[in-house]
Structure 1
Amino acid sequence: MKIARFAILGVSLGAGLLVARMVMSPAPEPVAEPVMVTETVEKDEVLTASQDIGLGQVVNPDDLSWTSWPRELAPATAILRSQRPDAMAEMAGRIAKAPLYQGEPLREERLINSDRGFMSTILPKGKRAIAVSVEALTAAGGFILPGDKVDVILTRQTAARSGNTFTSETILQNVRVLAIDTTTAGEQDEKALPPGQTATLELEPTQAEVVAQASQLGTIALVLRSAQDSADDAEPAVIGGGVNFVKFGVASQIQTQR
């Protein structure tokens, strides 16, 4: 009987200690739920080209559109609708002096607001434009396009002891073609040089003199250059020799240039 009492007493004492320990132990801290932080990106509308705009092309309202853009990522020169809500109407009628591509933010410095002819507006400062008459036969079969680079060759008749002969020499190299007939780089619907038409070249003033006088001596031919061989930053260089001219009985020579 005493052993049973001691057993019951021991069980009761152990249960009491277990309950006391559970009561005295600190309660577990609740697990915090993740907090979703939503960052607000401030946006604005940027004036962009809705389609490709070529060099010398007049900008129409249909060529422009407002595009949603993060304000912090907008270019410094971009036109924002919040600052210039009437910019689309202001830009309409201007002339592109550099190509613009679809989706590109419009930069006002790439447009010219002028009532002069488009050729004078797209002509770089210090350059001259001169038109030369060429046949399709002497213009790479008609595959020369506005914006291409060409070499200019003069073919003329010279006197020799054995009779008249023809000589050809390159008088200019790496010259940009501004227009074929009346088609510029931004208006290439007709992409070939029609027979008996003119090509307008972008030249230095002295180069324009060479071409003008050379056209009186013989036939001008345009030779198409490879795109990889037509770097815009190519430095002008003098080609050996020159074109000889006789004026009032006095012979002179103009150095041909690259």
Structure 2
Amino acid sequence: MKLARLAILGVSLAAGLLVARMAMAPAPEPTGAPVVVQETTEKEEVLVAAVDIPLGAQVSDGDLQWTEWPRELAPTNAIMRSMRPDAIGEIAGRIARAPVYAGEPLREERLIASDRGFMSSILPKGKRAIAVSVEALTAAGGFILPGDKVDVILTSQGAQRSGNSFTSETILQNVRVLAIDTTTAGEQDEKALPPGQTATLELTPAQAEVVAQASQLGTISLVLRSVQDSADDAAPDMIGGGVNFVKFGVTGQMQTQR
């Protein structure tokens, strides 16, 4: 009986030692190599604007830079470094015909060569540019800048029996100012319009005729519009049926279309 108990005790001790030894043994090292996820998206260096380039500004080397861009997401007509490695030197000196913002891919259709007429290049199809003589007093105190939207007011003098009288009439609304004197939106050095200068307006042919006629009848004033009232998709509007004028003592009106 004692021999049987001793045998069972010995077997239990041996099993316990085996279990303890297995628990203290180090864990086996993994045999497989670590999984590395590789990026498969192909990238391309695209020419972008390094700074904001306003309308009418001359582009310099420092205004441009190469930036990595996913090839499949690159904009249409973007300039790729792999295809045009010397593009920065080729484009430097051109003039922006539309604003280009920092980080935006550059497209050549938004630039014009410096040896071409700038004003004719930025005019949309069907538009005309006409210059009117203005002073600080008749141009919102001189705070109208190229790129602003304005209303055009004609102030004229009429003869009456009781004496001379003046009338004012808004003849155009929401008109874009292309330049002040010879300064465009990309060349502004001052915050105000010097007295005795000219403002160049963007008009349709019919509107240009109205302004040309009005400038002979009286004083042209420009009224600055709020940015919130100057949406680019809102077309310039003519007020009333036209501009009244007197010729050979007979009152007439230059008809316009709304």
Fold agreement, TM-score > 0.5? yes
Distance change (3 Å), C-alpha of 1:246 and 1:164? closer
Aligned to 1:213: 213
Cα 1:33–1:213 change in 2 (3 A) is: same
**Residue 187 of structure 2 aligns to a residue in which SS?**
coil
CA contact 1:239–1:255 (8 Å) conserved in 2:
no
- 2: CA distance between counterparts of 1:48 and 1:38? 27
What is the rounded CA distance, in whole Å, between the counterparts of 1:83 and 1:227 in structure 2? 41
Q: What amino acid is the match of 1:38?
A: Q
Contact 2:175 2:236 (C-alpha < 8 Å) held by counterparts = no
Residue aligning to 1:149: 149
Amino acid corresponding to residue 138 of structure 1 in structure 2: T
1:166 is the counterpart of 2:171: no
In structure 2, distance between residues paired with 1:30 and 1:183: 73
SS of equivalent to 1:240: coil
Which structure 2 residues correspond to residues 7-26 of structure 1 after superposition, within 5 A?
A: 7-11=5-9
Shift of residue 162, structure 1, vs aligned partner: 1.2
Note if contact 2:210-2:242 (Cα within 8 Å) is conserved in structure 1. Answer: no
Over 3 Å counting, the alpha-carbon distance change for 1:242 and 1:34 in structure 2 is: same
Q: Write the distance in 2 (CA, Å) between the matches of 1:212 and 1:76.
A: 42
Q: Tell me the equivalent position of 2:4.
A: 6
Task: Label 1:246 to 1:165 Cα distance change in 2 as closer, same or farther (>3 A).
Answer: closer
Tell me which moved more, 100-109 or 153-162.
Answer: 100-109
Question: Shift of residue 35 of structure 1?
Answer: 2.5
Which residue number in structure 1 is paired with residue 67 of structure 2?
Answer: 67
The residue aligned with 2:107 is 107
CA-CA distance at 1:100 after TM superposition: 1.2
- CA distance in 1: counterparts of 2:247 and 2:184, whole angstroms: 35
Task: Among all aligned residue pairs of Structure 1 and Structure 2, give the percentage whose two residues are the same amino acid.
Answer: 75
Partner of 1:50 in structure 2?
Answer: 50
- 1:161-220: per-residue Cα shift (whole Å, max 9, x none)? 212111110111110000011110011112211001100000010110011111011111
Supply the distance in 2 between the matched residues of 1:71 and 1:128 (Cα, whole angstroms): 40
Partner Cα distance (2:194, 2:240) in 1: 33
Q: 1:4 to 1:225 in 2, by over 3 A?
A: same
User: Using the alignment, how far apart are the partners of 1:257 and 1:176 within structure 2?
Assistant: 19
Offset at residue 29 of structure 1 (A): 11
Which blocks of at least 5 consecutive residues in structure 2 are unaligned? 20-27
CA distance in 2 between partners of 1:146 and 1:249 (Å) = 39
Distance (whole Å) between structure 2 residues aligned to residue 255 and residue 236 of structure 1: 16
CA RMSD of superposed structures (Å): 3.0
3-state SS of paired residue (1:186): helix
Q: TM-score, normalised by structure 2?
A: 0.85
After the TM superposition, which of the residue ranges 34-43 and 116-125 deviates more from structure 2? 34-43
Aligned to 1:25: none
- CA separation of 1:68 and 1:217: change in aligned 2, threshold 3 A: same
Instruction: State how far apart, in whole Å, the 1-side matches of 2:207 and 2:54 are.
Output: 26
Q: CA deviation at 1:243?
A: 1.0
